[in-house]
Amino acid sequence: MAKPVIGLQLYTLRDLTQKDFLGTIRKVADMGYKAVEFAGYFGTSAKELKSLLAEVGLEAPSAHIGLNFNEPNKLESDLAAQIEYALELGLSYIITPSAPVPEKPTMDDVRKLAAILEKAGKQVKSAGLTYGYHNHDFEFKLVEGKSVLDHLLELVPAELLVAEFDLGWIHMGGQTPVDYVNRYAGRIPLAHFKDFGEGTRDTEIGKGVVDLKSVLAVAEKSGIRYFIVEQEEFTSSSLESAKISLDFFRENWF
């Protein structure tokens, strides 16, 4: 297996991307990241964005694209427009970043969500792309003795739904990240590296309590192709935090 590529989820730099989207991407490349994952395109055409990525030498394997859960009758058409853009841009993966899970989910809730994800997976696959789901901690609520996330990955065929495990949220869900990576080896082309400090406040990679180094040891044999850094809260600046997180990989991976 090839060594995973280090990327940045651009949501990390959302304070900058909303002001200067293309300029921020240049800064990510200058910093030393090799890939980016999108969380919105800020009105930029796929052609222009693809040209910039080629110019600065960044891969763009994936984008977080929410499903229209609030208007089910528009879900398919909304997703179709996103697929068209993704194809023009040259993405490989479309990732649903979250889904509504009730406070006390039932098996019926799980089956309904699985059906939605499976339908989206079929639509994405038919376009030649791969569909995935990104977890938080709430998918680790138990339903009939098994987590919602495990149910979803069991109910939806692997060819229609891959996992983009968020390792930090797996930890916050009371589980061990490397255990989930080993359990679903071969179904995790991308993994979000997120670290948590005190309470529910996240921090730079390697500065918190999440056991991320153990995942490095099994990443290649598990089939992970991209490590995607994501952070939401910062003590100094989002850009400085992104640099610190990249240093973690320089010290422990390169």
- The domain that holds 129 is classified in CATH as 3.20.20.150
Position 124 scores a pLDDT of 98
- Could you tell me which residues come within 8 angstroms of residue 156 by beta carbon, excluding any fewer than 6 positions away? 114, 117, 118, 121
Quote the crossing angle between the two packed helices 72-89 and 46-56, to the nearest 10°.
40
Closest to 239 in 3D by CA, of 27, 66, 51, 5:
27
Angle, vertex CA 9, rays to CA 35 and CA 101, nearest 5: 140
Q: Going from the first residue of the chain to its last (254 residues), give the mean pLDDT of each consecutive group of 10, the final group possibly shorter.
A: 91 97 98 98 98 98 97 96 98 98 97 98 98 98 98 98 98 97 98 92 96 96 97 94 97 84
Position 198 scores a pLDDT of 80
Position 1 scores a pLDDT of 64
Position 199 scores a pLDDT of 81
Number of domains in the chain: 1
Coil/strand/helix, residue 169: helix
Task: Give the length of the chain.
Answer: 254
pTM of the predicted model as reported, rounded to 2 decimal places:
0.96
SS3 content of the chain, % helix, strand, coil (to 5): 45, 20, 35
Tell me the torsion sign for CA atoms 184, 190, 196, 201.
negative
Count Cβ atoms below 10 Å from residue 6 Cβ, excluding itself.
21
- Give residue 35's domain range: 5-252
Tokens of 155: 């109910």
Position 111 scores a pLDDT of 98
Closest to 142 in 3D by CA, of 134, 131, 150, 130:
150
